[in-house]
Amino acid sequence: MAAQGTPRFLLTFDFDETIVDENSDDSIVRAAPGQQLPESLRATYREGFYHEYMQRVFRYLGEQGVRPRDLRAIYEAIPLSPGMGDLLQFVAKQGSCFEVILISDANTFGIESALRAAGHHGLFRRILSNPSGPDAQGQLALRPFHAHGCTRCPANMCKHKALSEYLRERARDGVHFERLFYVGDGANDFCPMGLLAGGGACTCSRCSRRAEPRGRQGARAGRGGARGSVPFLSRPFLLCAAASLGGGERVRRGLCLCS
């Protein structure tokens, strides 16, 4: 049992199409001339190298005069997924019961911009994502999160490794969670779910959405390679799940909170 004031549960969120209701990498294309990327750029995508592709996208946008402030305005306008605002407010009201983090293959600049605009940035103890920010030319630059040896994940991020390292860090701080919860929708969200086997739960945030290649502008692949479909968490179900996670209902070990 956790000591008073120590978080009992670790709640981990994905970002794109989980916290927000869009793929943010698609959203920023609205800043491009004609709101689309040239075919010559889209054709450079190679499976398994989505991060490198997005580096080229940001570089192209910068060459077209798109500045970080323009991209920030787009990120800030991305809507939350239905029911997500209620869920985050519920979690915030539980005090120290939950510790909340975010692991995403998007980028820190976009995630922090969106969360601040929505009023939820302070809820997250840590945002684990690809570092990004203005470079010397005033353009938004994107860097890989880390290196790893996982063959199931793209070269720039393995969420299993990211979550494992975070748990080890918290254990060194003397924090040991009673249960882990994971909320995600993508193919690369399957890898960290192996950590839930000892007593955790996952929630899947999309219905009949194939885990297709990343990027509707021609490169929607690379953040994992598996295909599948997962159920949608409607607003009522999100709130029901939140009530369960809050301790009122006992959640069985390994339960996947899918309707």
User: Cα–Cα distance between 117 and 12 in angstroms, integer?
Assistant: 20
- The shares of helix, strand and coil residues in the chain, as percent rounded to the nearest 5, are 40, 15, 50
Q: Please tell me which residue in 14, 25, 105, 185 is annotated as part of the active site.
A: 14
With beta carbons less than 8 A apart as the criterion, state whether 127 and 106 touch. Answer: no
End-to-end CA gap in the chain:
30
Per-residue burial over 45-60, b = 16 or more CB atoms within 10 Å of its CB, e = otherwise: beeebbbbbbbbbbbb
Residues composing the chain: 259
User: Cα–Cα distance between 104 and 182 in angstroms, integer?
Assistant: 12
With beta carbons less than 8 A apart as the criterion, state whether 180 and 10 touch. Answer: yes
With beta carbons less than 8 A apart as the criterion, state whether 86 and 235 touch. Answer: yes
Judge whether 14 counts as a catalytic residue: yes
With beta carbons less than 8 A apart as the criterion, state whether 114 and 75 touch. Answer: yes
Judge whether 16 counts as a catalytic residue: yes
* Edge-to-edge order in the sheet of strand 200-204: 126-128, 98-103, 9-13, 179-184, 200-204
User: Could you list the active site residues?
Assistant: 14, 16
